[in-house]
Amino acid sequence: MRILLADDHQMVRDTMSVYLESEGRAAVVAVEDYTQAMKTLANKGPFDLVLLDFSMPGMNGLDGLSDAIKAHPDQPFAILSGTAPNRIAQEAVECGAIGYLPKSMSAKSLVNAVRFMIAGETFVPASVLADAGEAAENEFTKQLSQRERQVLAGLCRGRSNKEIARELDLQEVTIKLHVRTLCKKLNAKNRTQAALIAKDAGFE
């Protein structure tokens, strides 16, 4: 395995290089910033995998990842991070990365994840995906009142206004008003679309 590791913290570079070389029998080239990574890739690439620190100098987060993928479309890239919010994992994969590695991973998990990605698979820890989904849902539900969430839950279960009114012990006309407000807030044309938007956002 030939791996290019780019991170501005020497301790991270040294520790991960040792893990990958001793446990994974990899040949690691370690550099300290995004500019060096791109130069090394141009001069010594391609590599089996390039690991880019999300917040190192020159990276500019997902912009740097996108630029790197455009410049080297056949080169597999993965993001490393110790501080980025978990939603970045999903966004990085959507940008074209084949993985996301938290710096808190154990040596064995790191090596296994790298092997997995080199085999052509996409790797994101399950705990990161769960947290990211929860954050997205929180962002979605924050705009809704508790009563609106209750009504929306009824819509997602395919209930009629009358059924939702009965469940919540409210007048049917009140439910109609809530549905109208929900459609406006969610930019939905009708109750069905409101329910679809909610499900897409992870709301149950």
DSSP SS3 for 35: helix
Domains of the chain as residue ranges with CATH: 2-124 (3.40.50.2300), 143-200 (1.10.10.10)
Asked if 46 contacts 75 with a C-beta cutoff of 8 angstroms, the reply is: yes
Q: Express each pLDDT in 114-123 by its tens digit.
A: 999 999 999 9
- 83-96 burial, b at 16+ Cβ within 10 Å, e below that, comes to ebebbbbbbbbebe
Angstrom distance (rounded) from CA 87 to CA 189: 28
Amino acid present at 36: Q
SS3 27: strand
pLDDT class for 134, splitting at 50, 70, 90? low
Q: Give the model's confidence band at 138: pLDDT under 50 very low, under 70 low, under 90 confident, else very high.
A: low
Asked if 102 and 125 touch (Cβ cutoff 8 Å), the reply is yes
Quote the CA–CA distance of 190 and 50 in Å, as a whole number: 46
Check if the beta carbon of residue 194 is closer than 8 Å to that of residue 186.
yes
Tokens of 69: 């993928």
Residues in the chain: 204
Question: Measured between alpha carbons, how far apart are the two ends of the chain, in Å?
Answer: 43
CA distance 163 to 161: 6
pLDDT digits (tens, 9 = 90+) for 5-56: 999 999 889 999 999 999 889 999 999 999 999 999 999 989 999 999 998 9
| pTM for the predicted model, two decimal places | 0.64
Q: How far apart are CA 162 and CA 170, in angstroms?
A: 9
Tokens of 113: 């994840």
Burial of 104 (0-12, 13-18, 19+ CB in 10 A): exposed
pLDDT digits (tens, 9 = 90+) for 186-195: 889 999 999 8
